[in-house]
A = this chain, B = another copy of it.
Amino acid sequence: MRALEEKIRNEGIIAEGNVLKVSSFLNHQIDVPFMQTVGEEFYRLFRDEKIDKILTIEASGIGVACLTATYFNVPVVFAKKTKSKNLTDDCYTTKILSFTHGTTYDVMVEKRFIQPGERILVIDDFLAVGNALNGLIELVEAAGAEVVGCGIVIEKAWQQGGQRLREHGIRVESLARIKEMTEEHGCIFCDDDE
């Protein structure tokens, strides 16, 4: 999605430790009119699939998941990162290692919100090594539901999480795929040569 690549080039900040900060439109401030066009693009890609529900993970996934859901007219479920008083014990849980923060956290979804046989579109903001996405896919599979595909806003393609998922037959659609990223030269995208 060229408009997204342009947005990343113009507003993204590359920081130490391979961090790409897109706080101006995705991770802290959400440029809602722009992110609606992102949601519309996910709809264009997955509109021929029957989608029952969108699954994402708090916090940064929620905005893009909700805006995407307006096109599919389906609910969003967001997996929660910590056990809170407001969750019942009747949850699917998994552990996710945060590559950015170097810590492991528990992620859970109440069982009643993913039913066996449901067709789930997983949406997330970033895909790098794929830990978060793998965790979400595990939750769907634990429920006996089906992952129709994964819609990712930004994939750090050199970190191979997306490649591994595709090799396992999972449809992963990333709207911006970064091939290389340096503070000096900025982002180079996989389709820059096309």
A contact set with B: CB distance below 8 Å: 15, 17, 19, 21, 23-25, 27-33, 35-36, 58-59, 62-63, 66-67, 69-70, 73-78, 80, 84-87, 100-101, 109-110, 112-113
Q: A179 → chain B, closest Cβ, in Å? A: 22
A29-B77 in contact (CB<8A)? yes
Q: Chain B: which residue is nearest A100 at the CB level?
A: B85
Q: What is the CA–CA distance of A86 and B67 in the complex, to the nearest angstrom?
A: 23
A-B contact pairs, 16 of them (CB 8 A): A15-B86, A17-B85, A24-B112, A28-B78, A28-B80, A28-B86, A29-B75, A30-B66, A31-B75, A33-B73, A33-B75, A62-B62, A62-B63, A62-B66, A63-B76, A70-B70
As for how many copies of this chain the complex holds, the number is 2
Q: A27-B86, A59-B59, A85-B19 are in contact. Are A32 and B74 (CB under 8 A)?
A: yes
Q: Which residues in B have their C-beta under 8 angstroms from that of A29?
A: 75-77, 110, 113
